[in-house]
Amino acid sequence: HQELMRAIIVPGNGCTDVHAANWYAWLERRLNQDGRFEEVVLRTMPDPVRARRAVWIPFLLSLGADCQCVLIGHSSGAVAAMRLLEDQRLGGAVLVSACHSDLGEPSEAAAGYYPPSGGDWLWTQMRANAGAAGGNIRVLHSDNDPFIPLSEAQHVAEKLDVQLNVAPGHSHFFEPYEGLVEAVYSVLIEGEQQALQSSSANGADKIHRT
């Protein structure tokens, strides 16, 4: 019997009440109604405005971000998910409105995620840690995001060697969007399949060795 995965929704910065912001509570309700996850976690983050890496990454780990978990990150939350994936295996990740540079914003540079101060991006490790077999990542972006150009997400998807899903006219994803649900379930299904294949392979290996 395979354990159900958990979902963690990681908001963008500036959200002092995540349940009143953007599509987060809508997605939490949708995923809970469908019952395909063991639990759907949506919490207002500590340090919500500055969204510092040194605060957010430990907090995500304290929420149980592990190999039985799909992380759904938006904006700063997507960037936090990327850095977390460098060191922590997850079941998979959905990156919404992600970027790889601070876009010249001093407040973003100070958050500690971006090169040069945050260190180089470890794309290979990120990909390897997404799912039991790796690569279980979806990147979503709009073609008219006023804050993060599409080229940022194109770079992320290219470096991770995953597909980029472009949602025309969805700005910075402030509103509920059905494509989010589809992306989450796509990652969930692949994550479950990878976990199953991995445990079967481990089981066969044990039998072979005994």
Tokens (6 digits) for 127: 């990909």
Closest alpha carbon to 166 in 146, 144, 137: 144
DSSP class of 196 = H
Task: Please give the positions annotated as active site.
Answer: 75, 145, 172
Structure tokens at 111: 């958050």
Q: Following DSSP, what letter does each residue of 2-38 receive, concatenated? A: PPPPEEEEEPPTT-SSGGGSTTHHHHHHHHHHHT-SS
Instruction: Dig out the tokens for 44 from the structure.
Output: 């207002």
Helix (H, G, I), strand (E, B) or coil at 92: strand
With vertex at residue 122, the alpha carbon angle to CA 11 and CA 57, rounded to the nearest 5 degrees, is: 35
Euclidean distance between CA atoms 86 and 91, whole angstroms: 13
CB 96 within 8 A of CB 74: yes
